[in-house]
Chains A and B, each alone.
Chain A
Amino acid sequence: MTGSLLQVDDLHVRFPVSGGGLLGTGRRTLYAVNGISFELGKGECLSIVGESGCGKSTTALSILGLQAPTSGTIRYRGQPLTGPGAPGRMQRAKAVQMVFQDPYASLNPRQSIRASLAAPLRLHGIKSASEISDRIEAMLIDVGLKPEQASRYPHEFSGGQRQRIGIARALILEPEIVVLDEPVSALDVSIRAQIINLLLDLQEKLGLSYLMISHDLSVVEHMSDRVLVMFFGQVVEEGGWRQIFETPAHPYTRRLIGAIPDPEIAMSGQPKAKRFHDAQLPAGRGFGSDGSPAPDVFAAPTPSELVEIADSHRVRLSVAA
């Protein structure tokens, strides 16, 4: 892909866990992420969707350098972000930043907003006080706050304002990639709309690339360019937002979309499956059915492959078959 900023290739993350016996004997391996590969283009919003425990957050943490991958490579502009020769935290911080789910827990209550925003600038070698305050002022205006609010503390802000501060904190070093971990799920409906609008405006204005982790599929449909659907550590389907939402091919994707309570569909009374045009499935190959048992996270996943069923729309063949 042209202009690909971030390349993740065959990422695996495994955790050793104790077997749970009385003496903690019998260590087992939890297969959290099993061979994820994707690319994130410049200015693109890629969403990873899936249920709790599917490995979407672990994938994001690996990209941020907070979780070392077991194997696989992550490249930023062609440079490896993991393994030997990887850049340190300082360089990585200029490339990738994160907006957290909970705007209450992710700000230091003892620091004023100015102090929270100034610290990364200072760490990255900006000495002049006037430049620091100029950048903080501009950043606060960008996220829809007033510059004079900088001297306040987190508890003086509402949930929506705190999430704006969280976004300002992530953007202050001008990263190219922002990881959004459930950016609006902790917010009230009316504030949710404001933050979604703000994120889309900032993306356009600053040319940001978003990697969004979410289980809220209506938000994902609204914001994404491309979508990865994860299930037990693997990508089961990937494609453009239209392909995923209009012609979902994998049964799991269909189940996820079908599970969303939607006012209009609930009212019309028609089964949601009717909305799907049948995607072109490769003939003769089995896809996992709804009734198949959940895979065991402690067993190495059976090798299976992603097949391309349309331009850049890929589906994993049945894990169970």
Chain B
Amino acid sequence: MTAPLLDIKELKLDVSAGRSLLPILKGVSFQIMPGEAYGLVGESGSGKSVTSLAVMGLLKRPLRVSGGEVVFKGQNLLALPKREMRRLRGNRVAMIFQEPMTALNPLSTVGRQIAEMFVLHQGKDWGEAMKLAVDALASVRVPNPDRRATNYPHQMSGGLRQRVMIAMALACNPDLLIADEPTTALDVTVQAEVLRLIKELCAARGTAVLFISHDLGVIASVCQRVGVMYAGCLVEENDTALLFSDPRHEYTRGLLGALPRLGSRSLHGRQRLVDIDSIIADRSKLTETRFIAPRRDEGGKP
């Protein structure tokens, strides 16, 4: 039996509002196997992004962890000193964000920003690091990588910037890549390219992915296993194919029915979309039931 790469155990998060504490995550547990792509899906405010921030150790006040463990390769990240965490972040665990323009430094060339990864985490000198940065750009299929390395972020399109983010995140061959809505700001055709890139690169390098999105289609095309989050709880988890073919939680069924599906109008005519609020009278009861399907086989298959 393979040990999970990331094991989140009963993670609880609170936000302090004045004197009172509001729970944000109410005991979330899931595992990501080495090389596995795991998707977290849910609406805004369901807690999927804060889960990833907790893994990265990037939670800021008033958010704080009030319980649980985040075990990464046997180490509890929550108990790790800041200095150790900084060494891990970007090196073993990397992250790509939704809006590449705000995540990149506008005052520095993208080549330099990627090279910084090699200098900081692998102790390379700048000359060698710049060469590696060009290679990294080439690996994410940026055309003319040596010329592009001298570009500033504003000189690139959204799709190219997202590729730079991926190059930077994968520069040190991390064990886990966290992708938080990486394609939401992109056009569909560019989105398809970026998704294919993430999928292929991570499969080739054996990088595990924690993929966060509200788009079930995106999740289905990238991930092997999916967790559905609602109101700070993981309400359902299953292998992707089973989750879509046989959703068991009322909320998951609602989410699936709320989306217009491509091709369904040709097959079934125009069906009224499911209004989650009308089929689920009391949303507050939703988190009482949870369907967490056991893994069929241990270890992820990329």
Contact = CB atoms under 8 A, between A and B. Distances in A.
Interface of A: 51-52, 188-190, 192-194, 196-197, 200, 215, 217-219, 221-223, 241-242, 245-246, 255-267, 275
B104 to A, nearest CB: 19
21 contacts: A51-B187, A188-B43, A190-B275, A193-B273, A193-B276, A196-B273, A197-B275, A200-B270, A217-B262, A218-B262, A221-B262, A221-B265, A222-B260, A223-B260, A257-B262, A258-B192, A261-B192, A261-B195, A262-B217, A263-B216, A267-B240
A52 B220 contact: no
Nearest to A49: B188
Nearest to B259: A189
B22 interface: no
Contact of A261 (B44, B191, B266): B191
A222 B265 contact: yes
Interface in B187-234: 187-192, 195, 214-221
A275 B263 contact: yes
Contacts of A260: 188, 192, 217, 262
B282 interface: no
A217 B188 contact: yes
- Of B188, B244, B255, chain A has the most CB atoms within 10 Å of the CB of B188
B261 interface: yes
A255 B260 contact: no
Contact of B265 (A52, A241, A255, A266): A241
Interface string B72-115: 00000000000000000000000000000000000000000000
Interface residues of B, dominant DSSP: helix
Contacts of B214: 188-189
A193 B259 contact: yes
A259 B194 CA distance: 11
Contact of B244 (A192, A200, A257, A267): A267
B276 A190 contact: yes
Contact of A218 (B254, B259, B275): B259
Contacts, number: 113
A222 B258 CA distance: 12
B241 interface: yes
Given A193-B258, A242-B266, A261 B274 contact: no
A261 B270 contact: no
A52 B263 CA distance: 24
B288 interface: no
Contacts of A256: 188-189
Nearest to B41: A189
Interface in B128-154: none
B273 A263 contact: no
Contacts of B240: 266-267
A259 B217 CA distance: 11
A261 B218 contact: yes
A266 B274 contact: no
Contacts of A258: 192
Given A245-B263, A263-B220, A190 B187 contact: no
- Of A197, A241, A255, A266, chain B has the most CB atoms within 10 Å of the CB of A266
